Amino acid sequence: MSLTALRPWAGVIVLWIVATVTATAAESGAALTLSDALSRAIEANPDLKAFAFELPALAGRREQAGLRPNPEIGLEVENVTGSGEFRGAKSAEFTLALSQLIELGGKRGLRVGVVDAAYGLAESDLAVQRLDLAAEVLRRFVQAAHNQELLALSARRIELAGRTLTTVQDRVNAALASAAEGHRATAARDRALLDRQTAERRLQSSLHRLAALWGETNPGFATVAADLYAFPEVSDFDALMERLGASPDLARLLTEARLRDAELRLAEAQRRPDVTVGGGLRRLEASDDTALVFSMQMPLKIHDRNQGAIREARVRREQLDVEYDALLNRARAELFGLYQELLQARAETEILRGQVLPELEEALRQTESAYDLGRYSYLELVDAQRSLIEVNGELIDAAARYHATLAEIERITGQAIALPAY
């Protein structure tokens, strides 16, 4: 797998890593490429689709925050149903008034600003979720490719066990080997067949887990198109550290900081009292007269000057600065560890593939020839085969670990490590 490159997706950067495409076809469909897996997950992932409702919901909140307060209409009746001259409604006074709350200090615009900042934070959260999803697609894709290679290795093991069984049976028939060796060889072949069944089930499980990321219960593919041994070039550690500042998680905290700033400005503006003005008509029954009335109300900011909300907003803002520094420190430490793991996985893969395996292949060839001639024992032959299979398994593990580690590095840095290979 050429497992690198970030590409824009629906306005955000997602991990876009290109796999080496093969022409293999399976009974239930063609092999799945990594790019197809990413496309399907971004389009149909159930969790991502659920989170997408957050943006239109915030758009509704923004609309509400920008509305002016409604005017109020009121009716007052005075001097009725009393005693003496105020009995009945002869001296009644009816006042019909219309009042309007006037917000001062730009509160309406500040409320809209808070929702705008919250909308930007939701967009950042959506971008982070898409990146998390892309990274999870890669992890499960690598696991499927890993299990696929192990299944192929189990087929190699069956081939070796079957070849050995034929050789042993020939020697037993020629009275050059004991019947016990024949039974051992048969048991080894049967065990290899059993292990292949286990490998098949693990592959099917990993394919189902991959397809679950876009809501499918029955994958329409039986293999993944990947080359575990195609390693992209990786930038040096200093270059990766420079890219760390643009990581999605840190960018999200910066977006949240803008939200906290907006909340602080709104809290400070709410210290300024609003004014309610009104006017209307008053009807005086006793004199059969009508008069205009005017009113103005303003709260006295004696006890509640919104000081508690302002203090909270300031603390929340300062808290974000500390969280940013803590996250950056953790990311640096994690990036260093991942980079070392990446180098180790690559070195292991290159040494095992380029040096150790060729030696073991040659050792097995010579051991098989010597066994045919009766110079080596059956146990020596089995040991040579076991060593070859074990190292092949270690090679597959190291290659898969390289790509899984590379995915974590790209998730932390949020940027491409190498250009995609077409």
pLDDT in tens, 270-328: 888 888 898 888 888 777 888 888 888 888 888 888 888 888 889 988 888 898 888 88
**Res 402: pLDDT:** 94
Q: Which residues of the chain have pLDDT under 50?
A: 1-28, 417-422
Tens-place pLDDT, residues 5-42: 333 332 232 233 333 323 333 344 578 998 899 899 98
CATH 1.20.1600.10 domain span(s) along the chain: 6-68+108-268+312-413
**Res 84: pLDDT:** 66
The fold of 69-102+272-305 is: Outer membrane efflux proteins (OEP) (2.20.200)
Answer positive or negative: Cα dihedral of 324, 330, 333, 339: negative
- Token readout for 308 is 């508690």
**Res 419: pLDDT:** 31
Alpha-helical segments (H) within 244-306: 248-269
Helix, strand, coil percent values for the chain (each to nearest 5): 65, 10, 25
In 251-400, the DSSP E strands lie at 275-284, 289-297
The fold of 6-68+108-268+312-413 is: Outer membrane efflux proteins (OEP) (1.20.1600)
pTM above threshold 0.75: yes
The torsion angle over the Cα atoms of residues 237, 242, 243 and 248, rounded to 10 degrees, is 120
Contacts of 154 (CB under 8 A, 6+ apart): 192, 195, 196, 199
Whole-number Å distance between alpha carbons of 122 and 54: 7
**Res 422: pLDDT:** 25
Which helix (H) or strand (E) segment holds residue 25: the answer is: strand 25-26
Q: Which residue has the tokens 């309406």?
A: 108
Whole-number Å distance between alpha carbons of 219 and 216: 6
**Res 23: pLDDT:** 32
φ/ψ of 222, rounded to 5, equals -120, -5
- Token readout for 47 is 């969790």
Whole-number Å distance between alpha carbons of 257 and 254: 5
Whole-number Å distance between alpha carbons of 397 and 150: 9
The answer to whether 4 touches 26, Cβ cutoff 8 Å, is no
How distant, in Å, are the alpha carbons of 5, 30, 142, 271 from that of 33? 15, 9, 11, 58
CATH 2.20.200 domain span(s) along the chain: 69-102+272-305
Whole-number Å distance between alpha carbons of 31 and 225: 5
**Res 13: pLDDT:** 28
**Res 287: pLDDT:** 78
Instruction: Return the exposure string of 12-28: e unless at least 16 CB atoms fall within 10 Å of the residue's CB, then b.
Output: bbbbbbbbbbeeeeeee
